[in-house]
A and B are shown apart, each in its own frame.
Chain A
Amino acid sequence: MSESNLNMAAEHSAAMEPSPYAIPSRKLAMWLFILSDACTFGALLFAYGYLRTASPDWPTPFKFNPSILNVIIMTVVLITSSLTMLGAVDASKASDKSKTMRWLGLTMVLGAIFAMLHLREWAGMIHEGVRLFQNPWGSSLFGASFFSITGLHLMHVVSGVVAMAVVGRGYSRGSLTAGHVESTGLYWHFVDLVWMFVVPLVYLMNVSR
């Protein structure tokens, strides 16, 4: 190796260092995004807890039918979509394009069903008179916290479905890799994980008796 090549290698050695966690930088970036997003949802849920604790007239409007029943169906749909996403990730790792696309498509359909059920739930609440800063039952901040938390989650679901469509298209054309499918999968599982906290704290803590 010539001296100039050696100098160049020395200059770029930092860039060629192996990953400290033996994972691609794309995956590390997705994990860092997920953890920062977890703090965002955490802050929202803590703010909601603050308001709920400080308000003696916090409403408990969620009846088993239709609200809680709807939430149970949404939960089953979302957890099932995580399972189908795992199918897509595993199939892409095995370079099986047709299976990857099939699983991704199924996950997108389940995500879309979840979003539609969520909008149905919102429509029901709005029909009952819940607005951002007013509702027929009690603390006026109930609507703001309910729509903020579930709205942010719904936005994540819709973004995930769009991301899956984009990544699926790129993967089927060969411009994106299995690593992209895996990163999208990580995001989708996170959306599922957040829902596991939203359901008990926002819905089940406020069931109507």
Chain B
Amino acid sequence: MENSQFVYKGIGRYIPVYVVLLLLSGVQVFIAYAGVLGSGRLLWFLIVAIISAALAIMYFMHMKQERSSFFWSLIPATVFVLLMMNMIWSDSFRLLHMRPH
């Protein structure tokens, strides 16, 4: 909202989050090529992506400055919907293992 009290201070205060987001993207590329995590790299990709998303939501999208009721009304419900989508995995593994050889 337009606010005559708001004083423009430049983008300097967002630089730390920006740098962390760039570093986390670098970490993801490192995980892809390091090869030390083996099959666990998907889990690490997701952990890094979720941390990046949380930083973007809290600081870039200013969720941190909103009322906590706003956060609790919206985010857990969305996370619940996304978690429920995990039900598909058993079927995808079934397809893989029951494939005729």
- The residues of B that contact A197 with a CB separation of less than 8 Å are 49, 53
- Flag B34-69 by CB within 8 Å of A: 1 or 0 each: 000000011001101100110011001100001101
Which residues of B are found within 8 Å of A193, using beta-carbon distances? Answer: 52-53, 56-57
* Interface size class of chain A, counting residues whose CB lies under 8 Å from the partner chain: 35 or more
Least CB separation from A209: chain B residue: B35
Known: A179-B1, A196-B56. A83 touches B48 (CB 8 A): no
User: Which residues in B have their C-beta under 8 angstroms from that of A49?
Assistant: 88-89, 92
A21 & B88 in contact (Cβ 8 Å cutoff): no
Which of these, B61, B70, B95, contacts A186 with CB under 8 Å? B61
Q: Which residues of B contact A42 (CB under 8 A)?
A: 81-82, 85
Given contacts A50-B88, A79-B18, A82-B56, contact A199 B96 (CB under 8 A): no
Question: Which residues of chain A have C-beta atoms less than 8 A from B57's C-beta?
Answer: 189, 193
Q: Give the residues from 56 to 82 in chain A that come closer than 8 angstroms, CB to CB, to chain B.
A: 56, 64, 68, 72, 75-76, 79-80, 82
Report how far A86 CA is from B66 CA in the complex, Å: 16
- Given known contacts A75-B25, A90-B9, is B74 in contact with A31 (CB within 8 Å)? yes
Query: Are A95 and B4 closer than 8 Å at their CB atoms?
Result: yes
* Contacting residues of chain A (4-22) with chain B, CB-CB under 8 angstroms: 20-22
Establish whether residues B96 and A54, one from each chain, have CB atoms under 8 Å apart when the complex forms. yes
Kindly report which residue of chain A lies nearest to residue B83, judged by CB atoms: A42
Q: Total interface residues on B, using CB and 8 Å? A: 54
In the complex, what residues of B have CB within 8 A of residue A99's CB?
Answer: 8
Within 138-175 of A, Cβ neighbours of B (below 8 Å) are at: none
Inter-subunit contact A93/B3 (CB<8 Å): yes
Q: Which residues from 186 to 209 on chain A have a C-beta closer than 8 Å to any C-beta of chain B?
A: 186, 189-190, 192-193, 196-197, 199-201, 204-205, 207
A72–B29 contact, CB under 8 A? yes
**A137 within 8 Å of B (CB atoms):** no
Given A83-B18, A192-B56, A204-B45, does the pair A54, B9 have CB atoms closer than 8 Å?
Answer: no
Whether A22 lies near B56 (C-beta < 8 A) is no
A15 to B99, CA, bound (A): 59
Interface positions, chain B 1-46, Cβ under 8 Å from A, are: 1-4, 6-11, 14-15, 18, 21-22, 24-25, 28-29, 31-33, 41-42, 45-46
A-B CB contact pairs (8 Å), 10 listed: A35-B77, A38-B82, A42-B81, A42-B82, A179-B2, A193-B53, A193-B57, A196-B49, A196-B52, A201-B49
Q: With A46-B86, A55-B96 given, name 18 new contacts (CB 8 A).
A: A21-B69, A22-B67, A38-B78, A53-B89, A53-B93, A54-B92, A79-B21, A79-B22, A86-B60, A90-B8, A186-B61, A193-B53, A196-B21, A196-B52, A197-B53, A200-B45, A204-B29, A205-B42
7 nearest A-B pairs in the assembled complex, by CB-CB distance: A200-B45, A94-B8, A54-B95, A204-B32, A178-B2, A53-B92, A21-B70
